[in-house]
Amino acid sequence: MWRQDPAGDQREGMMTGKPQAADIRTMEDFAAYVGLSRPTVSKFFNDPASVRSNTRKRIEQAIGASGFLPNLFAVNLKRRRTRILGVIIPNAADPFYMELTRRIEEIADAAGYFAVVLSSAGRPDLEVEAIERFQSMNIAGAIVAPLGGTGVQGKLASLGSRVPLIYVDSPGADDAPFVGTDNRHSFGLIVDYLCRSGEPPCFLGMPGVNRNAQSRRLAYEEAMQAAGHAPMVLPTPEGASWEFERIGHEQTQLALRAGLPTRTLLCANDRLAFGALLAGWEAGLRIGAAMGSGADAAVEAADVVFMQSRVSAVPAALHLSRETMKIAMENVVFALGVKGVVMIAGFAGYASMWAAVFADSGVAALCVLNSVRMLYKK
């Protein structure tokens, strides 16, 4: 009778040099455990489809039995070109940068890369430190939202000479690839629309945290002059604070006490606008429209709330409002018409009790059914 001896199996594994599952620490240990070469195992972890199906099944079974997973960070550092994407942002708590990094991570993961995000916290010295750290990590590429300090330009240029470098939100070097807003074009369109649809706007700028602060103010001034109006720029506190909501709230309060030069206020970014909306609400002003994902004060003060935070919601809301008025008018005309006909027929002695019931309950039911069409309007 044959009996398996666990201790004997362990001794046999030790004698043959095959590591046990609990002893696996490195890729070499796992390759010896599976009984394959290290390049084959490494090839599997880089691209499972690149190895033969029976080999892939063998490795997957070994992973399930041992629970081993390679240190992909260490593996990447050993390569000439890693699959690490470096991302530097100026403020990790800013909602814009939070959403930006979330999308970058999703796209990088889908492409087989993984993003490492570092924040400079608005400090040039931390931005330099983040650049140097990514250089030591041998990253495959970098996405940077720069502060715009002159002392950092050399470091960024050095990084851009080694790997692909893309600037976002705020431009870096003039000839470097940049993804962001064309402030001159966008503010020109905004100011032109506001001037044509109402009063020329005054401008609440952002603190000097990056190049956008000066660029957007100059774009506003240029657009106002092109429209034939004198620029009206509200005071902005000195410094490079990222507390935009607080600044927008405080500066708008001061402007309201002193008297706004116009009833239209243009803010340099959304977070400043949230603070300005709160100040307006506290002053009892009617704001107009707000996004459902925005500040509570804006939602409370607004006449219309868009549940989707997209500009396309504005024309969609206008279309739905027109359709609603159209259906409401149809219901009014239909109800009054039927009731009028039944009343006249009743006075003439031709309308029965059932005709009166139809003119009341029947017409109400038909109007409700007609209104249900709004659920299918797009």
Asked if 168 contacts 143 with a C-beta cutoff of 8 angstroms, the reply is yes
Fold of domain 11-70: 434 Repressor (Amino-terminal Domain) (1.10.260)
Mean pLDDT for the stretch of residues 166-173: 85
For the cut 60, the answer to whether the pLDDT of residue 291 exceeds it is no
Q: Which of 9-23, 109-123, 142-156 has the highest mean pLDDT?
A: 109-123
At 15, is the pLDDT very low, low, confident or very high (cuts 50, 70, 90)? Answer: very low
Q: Among 43-57, 62-76, 99-113, 172-186, where is mean pLDDT lowest? A: 62-76
3-class DSSP state for residue 199?
coil
Average confidence score pLDDT of the chain: 81
- Fold match between domain 11-70 and domain 77-179: no
- Cβ atoms within 10 Å, residue 159: 22
Asked if 148 contacts 211 with a C-beta cutoff of 8 angstroms, the reply is yes
CATH H superfamily, domain 77-179: Response regulator (3.40.50.2300)
| H helix runs in the chain, sequence order | 6-16, 27-34, 38-46, 53-66, 72-77, 95-110, 124-136, 153-162, 183-197, 211-226, 244-258, 270-282, 296-301, 313-347, 353-357, 363-371
The token pair at 84 is: 């690490």
Per-residue model confidence (pLDDT) at position 198: 81
CA dihedral 244, 246, 250, 252 (to 10 degrees): 50
Residue 233 is given by DSSP the state: B
Q: Which of 52-66, 87-101, 314-328 has the highest mean pLDDT?
A: 87-101
Per-residue model confidence (pLDDT) at position 203: 93
Fold of domain 183-286: Rossmann fold (3.40.50)
* Cα distance between residue 181 and residue 235, in whole Å: 24
For the cut 80, the answer to whether the pLDDT of residue 299 exceeds it is no
For the cut 60, the answer to whether the pLDDT of residue 281 exceeds it is yes
Q: Which of 58-72, 157-171, 221-235 has the highest mean pLDDT?
A: 221-235
- Kindly report the three-state secondary structure assignment for every residue of 1-48: CCCCCHHHHHHHHHHHCCCCHHHCCCHHHHHHHHCCCHHHHHHHHHCH
Question: Strands 84-89, 114-119: parallel, antiparallel or unpaired by DSSP?
Answer: parallel
Q: Where are the domains of the chain?
A: 11-70, 77-179, 183-286, 315-376
For the cut 60, the answer to whether the pLDDT of residue 6 exceeds it is no
The token pair at 354 is: 């059932």
* Cα distance between residue 54 and residue 34, in whole Å: 13
- 132-162 pLDDT, tens digit per residue, is 888 888 888 999 998 877 678 888 888 888 8
Q: Among 84, 264, 278, which Cα is nearest to 190's?
A: 264
